[in-house]
Structure 1
């Protein structure tokens, strides 16, 4: 299902804070790609062949995802591959960037990582709460079996939502999918491929369970957002000035 190669040599380099571009020249220099056996019982975030990986124990530089992704989006607590057909969209809040989305031809994917307790499968509990909440909102909901366990699926008219969660060591990764119902299956498959190549860096700081891990926007993206907001403010000021003239 998910074809990617793992590099032979390992190093202990720490992850940076900017988006990582995987050079095309690296392709073909790795071990032959293998189809990992997929199943909840096969998943190992540290020693396994597919993710999501524990980024505090596994260096993402050991992997080559250039056949799938244009680069890796480094959000500090998350390293998420951006597929060749995807684009990054930042949702702005009152105080700055609030949410990061990956927009694809099939719909939108929103990744979030949370701190979680050591001994509890936090996703198993969260999935039930999400399902109940969606049902109370009037959506048609169901549980579906995915590679990492139960996934939540919901439909409303021609639109569909899908929530995939994975519990790791002291963290939980959640991907929320939204798009047209007609392309829901394609969006789910693409998201599973993204999850299999995602790294979660929880860190060692004490964080209450259920708290979203902090996200850092790459500097280049932050600068682009700042220029965009400044241009918007300038255009609005000019428009208001013309209206008062």
Structure 2
């Protein structure tokens, strides 16, 4: 009995097939392993954030782990978190449904809209007796998922939102090669300069440890 031998694929063929499976993106957020525009960014380990005049960066902390960052600009805020995701499928559809349920449970309302990054979730969440507009943005990358939450003036003002949307486009995600379950936060760390400053301050006589970033507000965590 004869069987047809399976055709062996050359490395070049595999590379072409891989390129066909993962279409090249024309804008960010970017993966660290793909070509992306050079510009000044804060290196937080698992994420590199663009910096500009007028920006203030705060950190989201869960226990001793830095899991996200908040960029404050004028009367608006952008909260960004990066998570692990499956290799061959995105999770934004699932996450968006979870966020909608969370907003509903908090007494708010939400609806899906088309935005500059695809489908996003426009929500109104009660806070101090007033409904606040919030935009949930999701981007599925190669083995990672980036969630952005825009609040404040930019959540309802397109002109104000343009600056923070530009921040999202310039973010670089550093996923790493280690195995991670889907939705696990990609850990961040202080930039080298900030760590060195904190160590010098802590080593001084009677000095308290220094954290150059403040802890940012949390908005609807993924769990």
| Common fold by TM > 0.5 | yes
Gaps of 5+ in 2: 1-20, 211-223
Matched, 1:215 2:184: no
| Matches of 2:77 and 2:33, distance apart in 1 | 27
Match of 1:50 among 27, 42, 65: 27
| Matches of 1:126 and 1:202, distance apart in 2 | 19
Compute the displacement of 1:181 (Å): 7.3
Matched, 1:74 2:52: no
Compute the displacement of 1:115 (Å): 0.8
SS of residue matched to 1:207: coil
Compute the displacement of 1:158 (Å): 5.2
- Larger RCO: Structure 1 or Structure 2 (Cα < 8 Å, ≥ 6 residues apart)? 2
SS of residue matched to 2:208: helix
Query: Does the CA contact (< 8 Å) of 1:106 and 1:180 recur in 2?
Result: yes
| Matches of 2:185 and 2:68, distance apart in 1 | 11
Q: Which has the larger radius of gyration?
A: 2
Partner of 1:90: 59
Q: CA, structure 1 residues 185+223, in 2 after alignment: closer, same or farther (shift >3 Å)?
A: farther
Partner of 1:198: 171
| Matches of 1:76 and 1:183, distance apart in 2 | 31
Compute the displacement of 1:209 (Å): 0.9
| Matches of 2:155 and 2:134, distance apart in 1 | 12
Matched, 1:143 2:112: yes
Compute the displacement of 1:120 (Å): 1.9
Compute the displacement of 1:131 (Å): 1.2
| Matches of 1:148 and 1:181, distance apart in 2 | 16
Task: Report how many aligned residue pairs link the two structures.
Answer: 181
SS of residue matched to 1:211: coil
| Matches of 2:29 and 2:104, distance apart in 1 | 28
| Matches of 2:95 and 2:103, distance apart in 1 | 12
| Matches of 2:155 and 2:95, distance apart in 1 | 26
1:101-151: CA deviation from partner (whole Å, max 9, x where unpaired): 111113221111111112222111111110121012111212111122211
Q: RMSD between aligned alpha carbons?
A: 2.9
Partner of 1:161: 134
| Matches of 1:182 and 1:97, distance apart in 2 | 25
Match of 1:178 among 147, 151, 155: 151
Match of 1:112 among 66, 75, 81: 81
Q: CA, structure 1 residues 74+170, in 2 after alignment: closer, same or farther (shift >3 Å)?
A: same
Match of 2:97 among 121, 128, 133: 128
- TM-score normalised according to structure 1 size: 0.63
Partner of 2:208: 230
1:72-121: CA deviation from partner (whole Å, max 9, x where unpaired): 11111111212332111235565365642111113221111111112222
Match of 1:103 among 59, 72, 78: 72
- TM-score normalised according to structure 2 size: 0.69
Gaps of 5+ in 1: 1-43, 66-70, 233-245
Comparing 127-136 with 172-181, greater Cα deviation is found at 172-181
